[in-house]
Chain A
Amino acid sequence: MEKIKVNVALSGLNNIDNPGPGIPVIRGLKESKILDVRVIGLSYENLEPGIYMHDLVDKTYKVPYPSDGFEPFLDRIRYIHEQENIQVLIPNFDSELFTVMKSEKILQDMGIRTFLPTLKQFEERHKSNLPEYGEKY
Protein backbone atom coordinates (compact mmCIF):
# COMPACT_ATOMS: atom_id res chain seq x y z
CA MET A 1 0.00 0.00 0.00
CA GLU A 2 1.30 3.41 -0.92
CA LYS A 3 1.80 5.70 2.04
CA ILE A 4 -0.19 8.93 2.37
CA LYS A 5 2.14 11.90 1.89
CA VAL A 6 1.51 14.61 4.45
CA ASN A 7 3.28 17.76 5.60
CA VAL A 8 3.09 18.16 9.37
CA ALA A 9 4.26 21.27 11.23
CA LEU A 10 4.89 20.94 14.93
CA SER A 11 6.56 22.58 17.89
CA GLY A 12 8.18 21.25 21.06
CA LEU A 13 11.62 20.59 19.57
CA ASN A 14 13.24 21.38 22.93
CA ASN A 15 14.46 17.85 23.52
CA ILE A 16 16.27 18.83 26.72
CA ASP A 17 16.24 17.42 30.28
CA ASN A 18 12.63 18.56 30.62
CA PRO A 19 11.66 17.82 27.03
CA GLY A 20 8.79 19.05 24.94
CA PRO A 21 6.74 16.36 23.16
CA GLY A 22 7.90 17.34 19.64
CA ILE A 23 10.68 14.80 19.05
CA PRO A 24 8.77 11.82 20.55
CA VAL A 25 5.74 12.76 18.41
CA ILE A 26 7.99 12.96 15.32
CA ARG A 27 9.50 9.54 16.09
CA GLY A 28 6.01 8.07 16.03
CA LEU A 29 5.18 9.84 12.76
CA LYS A 30 8.42 8.79 11.06
CA GLU A 31 7.77 5.14 12.02
CA SER A 32 4.29 5.19 10.51
CA LYS A 33 3.52 2.47 7.99
CA ILE A 34 0.56 4.50 6.69
CA LEU A 35 1.96 8.02 6.49
CA ASP A 36 4.95 9.46 4.67
CA VAL A 37 5.51 12.56 6.77
CA ARG A 38 7.55 15.64 5.91
CA VAL A 39 8.24 17.24 9.28
CA ILE A 40 8.35 21.02 9.53
CA GLY A 41 9.69 22.09 12.90
CA LEU A 42 8.52 25.27 14.61
CA SER A 43 11.05 26.57 17.09
CA TYR A 44 11.07 29.44 19.57
CA GLU A 45 14.76 29.35 20.49
CA ASN A 46 17.95 28.96 18.43
CA LEU A 47 19.22 26.10 20.59
CA GLU A 48 16.24 23.75 20.55
CA PRO A 49 17.98 20.45 19.71
CA GLY A 50 15.31 19.36 17.22
CA ILE A 51 16.39 22.14 14.82
CA TYR A 52 19.63 20.23 14.23
CA MET A 53 18.17 16.69 14.17
CA HIS A 54 17.92 16.39 10.39
CA ASP A 55 17.13 12.69 10.44
CA LEU A 56 13.84 13.57 12.15
CA VAL A 57 13.09 17.17 11.21
CA ASP A 58 13.13 18.06 7.51
CA LYS A 59 13.06 21.85 7.89
CA THR A 60 12.72 24.19 10.86
CA TYR A 61 11.36 27.73 11.07
CA LYS A 62 11.63 30.12 13.98
CA VAL A 63 8.26 31.31 15.25
CA PRO A 64 7.30 34.17 17.58
CA TYR A 65 6.18 33.40 21.13
CA PRO A 66 2.41 33.04 21.58
CA SER A 67 2.65 35.83 24.16
CA ASP A 68 3.53 38.19 21.27
CA GLY A 69 -0.11 37.87 20.15
CA PHE A 70 -2.18 36.14 17.48
CA GLU A 71 -1.14 38.25 14.49
CA PRO A 72 2.65 37.79 14.57
CA PHE A 73 2.12 34.05 15.08
CA LEU A 74 -0.42 33.77 12.25
CA ASP A 75 1.71 35.93 9.90
CA ARG A 76 4.63 33.59 10.43
CA ILE A 77 2.48 30.47 9.95
CA ARG A 78 1.10 32.04 6.74
CA TYR A 79 4.67 32.54 5.44
CA ILE A 80 5.71 28.98 6.37
CA HIS A 81 2.53 27.62 4.78
CA GLU A 82 3.41 29.41 1.51
CA GLN A 83 6.80 27.66 1.52
CA GLU A 84 5.77 24.24 2.81
CA ASN A 85 2.04 23.68 2.29
CA ILE A 86 1.36 22.68 5.91
CA GLN A 87 -1.48 20.15 5.99
CA VAL A 88 -1.56 19.40 9.71
CA LEU A 89 -0.38 21.55 12.62
CA ILE A 90 0.37 19.97 16.01
CA PRO A 91 1.06 22.50 18.78
CA ASN A 92 2.92 20.70 21.56
CA PHE A 93 3.27 23.47 24.18
CA ASP A 94 0.57 24.27 26.71
CA SER A 95 1.27 27.97 26.23
CA GLU A 96 0.50 27.92 22.48
CA LEU A 97 -2.61 25.73 22.58
CA PHE A 98 -4.96 28.62 23.31
CA THR A 99 -3.60 30.70 20.40
CA VAL A 100 -3.93 27.81 17.96
CA MET A 101 -7.41 26.85 19.20
CA LYS A 102 -8.57 30.45 18.81
CA SER A 103 -7.11 30.51 15.29
CA GLU A 104 -8.57 27.15 14.25
CA LYS A 105 -11.04 28.61 11.74
CA ILE A 106 -8.43 30.93 10.15
CA LEU A 107 -6.00 28.02 9.87
CA GLN A 108 -8.71 25.81 8.39
CA ASP A 109 -9.46 28.47 5.75
CA MET A 110 -5.76 28.45 4.89
CA GLY A 111 -5.95 24.67 4.44
CA ILE A 112 -4.19 23.79 7.70
CA ARG A 113 -5.90 21.17 9.85
CA THR A 114 -5.54 20.71 13.60
CA PHE A 115 -7.01 18.12 15.93
CA LEU A 116 -7.38 19.85 19.26
CA PRO A 117 -9.83 19.98 22.15
CA THR A 118 -12.54 22.63 21.92
CA LEU A 119 -12.04 25.84 23.91
CA LYS A 120 -14.71 24.63 26.38
CA GLN A 121 -12.85 21.34 26.91
CA PHE A 122 -9.59 23.26 27.26
CA GLU A 123 -10.88 25.78 29.80
CA GLU A 124 -12.86 23.29 31.89
CA ARG A 125 -9.91 21.08 32.76
CA HIS A 126 -7.62 23.80 34.13
CA LYS A 127 -5.98 22.77 37.40
CA SER A 128 -7.97 25.40 39.28
CA ASN A 129 -11.26 23.88 37.99
CA LEU A 130 -10.46 20.20 38.62
CA PRO A 131 -12.71 19.70 41.70
CA GLU A 132 -15.79 20.93 39.76
CA TYR A 133 -14.63 18.95 36.72
CA GLY A 134 -14.45 15.79 38.81
CA GLU A 135 -17.97 16.31 40.11
CA LYS A 136 -19.38 17.08 36.67
CA TYR A 137 -17.82 14.12 34.88
Chain B
Amino acid sequence: MVVKGKFYDAHIAYDRDQVSIFFNKIAAKWGLPIVIQEFVRGTEVNVVALGDGKGNTIGAVPMRKTYITDKGKGWGGITLQDQTMMDLTQKIISQTQWRGGMELELIRTSKNELYMIEINPRLPAWVYLAVAAGQNLPEALVLLALGKELKPFSEYQVGKMFIRYSYDMICDMKEFEEFSTRGEV
Protein backbone atom coordinates (compact mmCIF):
# COMPACT_ATOMS: atom_id res chain seq x y z
CA MET B 1 0.00 0.00 0.00
CA VAL B 2 0.98 3.66 -0.29
CA VAL B 3 0.39 6.01 2.64
CA LYS B 4 0.19 9.69 1.64
CA GLY B 5 -0.21 13.04 3.37
CA LYS B 6 -2.72 15.62 2.18
CA PHE B 7 -0.06 17.99 0.84
CA TYR B 8 3.30 16.25 1.16
CA ASP B 9 4.99 12.94 1.93
CA ALA B 10 4.31 9.40 0.73
CA HIS B 11 5.63 6.02 1.84
CA ILE B 12 5.26 2.49 0.53
CA ALA B 13 4.10 0.13 3.29
CA TYR B 14 4.52 -3.62 2.94
CA ASP B 15 2.36 -4.75 5.87
CA ARG B 16 -0.29 -3.56 8.31
CA ASP B 17 2.28 -2.45 10.93
CA GLN B 18 4.10 -0.28 8.43
CA VAL B 19 0.81 1.32 7.40
CA SER B 20 0.21 2.30 11.05
CA ILE B 21 3.74 3.63 11.47
CA PHE B 22 3.59 5.79 8.32
CA PHE B 23 0.04 6.91 9.13
CA ASN B 24 1.16 8.24 12.52
CA LYS B 25 4.36 9.71 11.16
CA ILE B 26 2.64 11.66 8.37
CA ALA B 27 -0.31 12.67 10.58
CA ALA B 28 2.09 14.08 13.20
CA LYS B 29 3.95 16.11 10.58
CA TRP B 30 1.27 17.21 8.11
CA GLY B 31 -2.06 16.46 9.80
CA LEU B 32 -5.11 14.64 8.49
CA PRO B 33 -6.52 13.31 6.19
CA ILE B 34 -4.18 10.51 5.22
CA VAL B 35 -4.69 8.63 1.97
CA ILE B 36 -4.06 4.87 1.95
CA GLN B 37 -4.27 3.22 -1.44
CA GLU B 38 -3.06 0.29 -3.48
CA PHE B 39 0.53 0.59 -4.66
CA VAL B 40 0.60 0.71 -8.47
CA ARG B 41 3.88 -0.37 -10.00
CA GLY B 42 4.95 1.41 -13.16
CA THR B 43 6.67 4.40 -14.69
CA GLU B 44 5.98 7.88 -13.38
CA VAL B 45 4.71 10.23 -16.07
CA ASN B 46 3.52 13.80 -15.59
CA VAL B 47 1.82 16.55 -17.54
CA VAL B 48 2.26 20.29 -17.00
CA ALA B 49 -0.70 22.25 -18.34
CA LEU B 50 -2.42 25.62 -18.25
CA GLY B 51 -6.17 26.16 -18.45
CA ASP B 52 -7.75 29.50 -19.32
CA GLY B 53 -10.77 29.07 -17.04
CA LYS B 54 -13.13 28.77 -20.00
CA GLY B 55 -12.41 25.13 -20.76
CA ASN B 56 -9.48 25.69 -23.13
CA THR B 57 -6.08 24.10 -22.65
CA ILE B 58 -3.61 26.88 -23.45
CA GLY B 59 -0.67 24.51 -23.27
CA ALA B 60 0.25 21.01 -22.13
CA VAL B 61 3.50 19.06 -22.18
CA PRO B 62 3.79 15.42 -21.05
CA MET B 63 7.02 14.12 -19.53
CA ARG B 64 8.50 10.88 -18.22
CA LYS B 65 10.79 11.03 -15.23
CA THR B 66 14.13 9.50 -16.19
CA TYR B 67 15.73 9.76 -12.77
CA ILE B 68 14.00 9.81 -9.40
CA THR B 69 15.77 10.79 -6.17
CA ASP B 70 15.49 8.93 -2.90
CA LYS B 71 12.86 11.51 -1.94
CA GLY B 72 10.82 10.42 -4.95
CA LYS B 73 11.45 13.67 -6.84
CA GLY B 74 12.30 13.90 -10.52
CA TRP B 75 15.96 14.73 -11.14
CA GLY B 76 15.66 14.24 -14.87
CA GLY B 77 12.90 13.92 -17.41
CA ILE B 78 12.08 13.80 -21.11
CA THR B 79 9.14 15.21 -23.08
CA LEU B 80 6.87 12.59 -24.61
CA GLN B 81 4.53 12.27 -27.53
CA ASP B 82 1.50 10.74 -25.84
CA GLN B 83 -2.00 11.31 -27.14
CA THR B 84 -3.67 9.50 -24.24
CA MET B 85 -2.08 11.81 -21.70
CA MET B 86 -2.93 14.86 -23.81
CA ASP B 87 -6.55 13.73 -24.23
CA LEU B 88 -6.87 13.12 -20.48
CA THR B 89 -5.44 16.57 -19.69
CA GLN B 90 -7.73 18.33 -22.16
CA LYS B 91 -10.74 16.43 -20.86
CA ILE B 92 -10.04 17.44 -17.24
CA ILE B 93 -9.39 21.08 -18.16
CA SER B 94 -12.45 21.36 -20.38
CA GLN B 95 -14.85 19.61 -18.00
CA THR B 96 -13.68 21.45 -14.90
CA GLN B 97 -13.09 24.76 -16.73
CA TRP B 98 -9.71 24.71 -15.01
CA ARG B 99 -8.12 28.11 -14.43
CA GLY B 100 -4.35 28.35 -13.97
CA GLY B 101 -1.41 26.01 -13.89
CA MET B 102 -1.78 22.30 -13.28
CA GLU B 103 0.41 19.25 -12.93
CA LEU B 104 -1.02 15.78 -13.43
CA GLU B 105 0.94 12.98 -11.80
CA LEU B 106 0.28 9.58 -13.34
CA ILE B 107 1.62 6.03 -13.26
CA ARG B 108 1.80 4.03 -16.47
CA THR B 109 1.75 0.29 -15.78
CA SER B 110 3.45 -2.39 -17.86
CA LYS B 111 -0.01 -3.07 -19.39
CA ASN B 112 -0.02 0.54 -20.60
CA GLU B 113 -2.80 1.57 -18.19
CA LEU B 114 -2.70 5.06 -16.70
CA TYR B 115 -3.46 5.69 -13.03
CA MET B 116 -3.81 9.22 -11.75
CA ILE B 117 -2.07 9.73 -8.43
CA GLU B 118 -2.27 13.47 -7.95
CA ILE B 119 -3.40 16.78 -9.46
CA ASN B 120 -1.30 19.73 -8.31
CA PRO B 121 -3.06 23.08 -8.77
CA ARG B 122 0.03 25.01 -9.85
CA LEU B 123 2.99 24.89 -12.23
CA PRO B 124 5.56 22.28 -11.13
CA ALA B 125 9.31 22.72 -10.53
CA TRP B 126 10.05 21.06 -13.90
CA VAL B 127 8.01 23.67 -15.84
CA TYR B 128 11.16 25.04 -17.47
CA LEU B 129 11.28 21.83 -19.55
CA ALA B 130 8.00 22.94 -21.15
CA VAL B 131 9.52 26.39 -21.82
CA ALA B 132 12.54 24.77 -23.47
CA ALA B 133 10.26 22.49 -25.49
CA GLY B 134 8.46 25.52 -26.94
CA GLN B 135 5.63 26.32 -24.51
CA ASN B 136 6.41 29.25 -22.24
CA LEU B 137 3.63 28.48 -19.77
CA PRO B 138 4.79 30.98 -17.07
CA GLU B 139 4.63 33.77 -19.67
CA ALA B 140 1.19 32.58 -20.80
CA LEU B 141 -0.02 32.50 -17.18
CA VAL B 142 1.02 36.12 -16.61
CA LEU B 143 -0.61 37.21 -19.89
CA LEU B 144 -3.86 35.47 -18.83
CA ALA B 145 -3.65 37.17 -15.42
CA LEU B 146 -3.34 40.50 -17.25
CA GLY B 147 -6.57 39.69 -19.10
CA LYS B 148 -5.03 38.98 -22.50
CA GLU B 149 -6.70 36.55 -24.89
CA LEU B 150 -4.32 33.77 -25.87
CA LYS B 151 -4.26 31.23 -28.65
CA PRO B 152 -3.40 27.75 -27.36
CA PHE B 153 0.06 26.37 -28.08
CA SER B 154 -0.22 23.84 -30.88
CA GLU B 155 3.07 21.99 -30.50
CA TYR B 156 6.13 21.24 -28.41
CA GLN B 157 9.39 19.46 -29.04
CA VAL B 158 9.37 15.76 -28.20
CA GLY B 159 12.57 14.31 -26.75
CA LYS B 160 13.71 17.44 -24.89
CA MET B 161 15.35 16.48 -21.63
CA PHE B 162 16.07 18.16 -18.34
CA ILE B 163 18.83 17.11 -15.99
CA ARG B 164 18.74 18.85 -12.63
CA TYR B 165 22.01 19.75 -10.96
CA SER B 166 23.17 21.38 -7.76
CA TYR B 167 25.51 24.35 -7.68
CA ASP B 168 27.37 26.11 -4.90
CA MET B 169 26.34 29.73 -5.21
CA ILE B 170 28.63 32.23 -3.50
CA CYS B 171 27.20 35.27 -1.76
CA ASP B 172 28.22 37.79 0.88
CA MET B 173 27.29 37.39 4.52
CA LYS B 174 26.30 41.06 4.49
CA GLU B 175 23.38 40.25 2.21
CA PHE B 176 22.31 37.33 4.37
CA GLU B 177 22.43 39.59 7.44
CA GLU B 178 20.45 42.27 5.67
CA PHE B 179 17.73 39.85 4.64
CA SER B 180 17.64 38.21 8.08
CA THR B 181 17.29 41.51 9.91
CA ARG B 182 15.45 43.83 7.51
CA GLY B 183 13.42 41.18 5.67
CA GLU B 184 14.28 42.50 2.22
CA VAL B 185 17.24 42.60 -0.09
Show the binding face of A for B, using Cβ within 8 Å: 4, 6, 8, 12, 17-21, 24-29, 31-32, 34-35, 37, 43, 46-47, 49, 51-53, 59-62, 87-88, 90-95, 97, 113-118, 121-122, 124-128, 130, 133-134, 137
B167 CB to nearest chain A CB (Å):
9
Pick the most buried of B6, B33, B122, B176: most chain A CB atoms within 10 A of its CB: B122
Q: Knowing that A24-B126, A121-B99 are A-B contacts, what are 19 other residue pairs whose CB atoms are under 8 Å apart, sorted by A's residue number?
A: A17-B69, A17-B166, A19-B125, A20-B125, A21-B122, A25-B123, A28-B137, A29-B138, A60-B184, A62-B179, A88-B145, A92-B123, A93-B122, A94-B7, A94-B120, A97-B122, A113-B146, A118-B99, A127-B35
Contacts of B99 in A (CB 8 A): 115-118, 121
Taken residue by residue from 124 to 140, chain B's Cβ proximity to chain A (1 for < 8 Å, 0 otherwise) reads as 11111001000011110
Measured CA separation A120–B169 after assembly (Å): 41
Measured CA separation A17–B125 after assembly (Å): 11
Contact B121 A122 (CB under 8 A): yes
Q: Do most interface residues of chain B lie in helix, strand or loop, or is the interface mixed?
A: mixed
Q: Do most interface residues of chain A lie in helix, strand or loop, or is the interface mixed?
A: mixed
Q: Given A121-B96, A125-B121, is A28 in contact with B127 using a C-beta cutoff of 8 Å?
A: yes
Which residues of chain B in 128-185 are interfacial with respect to chain A, using CB atoms and an 8 Å cutoff? 128, 131, 136-139, 141-147, 164, 166, 169, 171, 175-176, 179-180, 183-185
Interface residues on B, range: 35 or more
Measured CA separation A26–B125 after assembly (Å): 11
Measured CA separation A41–B35 after assembly (Å): 33
Number of A-B contacts (CB under 8 A): 146
Show the binding face of B for A, using Cβ within 8 Å: 4, 6-8, 33, 35, 53, 69, 71, 73, 91-92, 95-100, 102, 116-128, 131, 136-139, 141-147, 164, 166, 169, 171, 175-176, 179-180, 183-185
State which of B35, B125, B164, B169 has its C-beta within 8 Å of the C-beta of A52: B169
B183 CB to nearest chain A CB (Å):
4
Measured CA separation A103–B94 after assembly (Å): 25
A128 CB to nearest chain B CB (Å):
5
Contacts of A93 in B (CB 8 A): 122
Measured CA separation A90–B146 after assembly (Å): 12
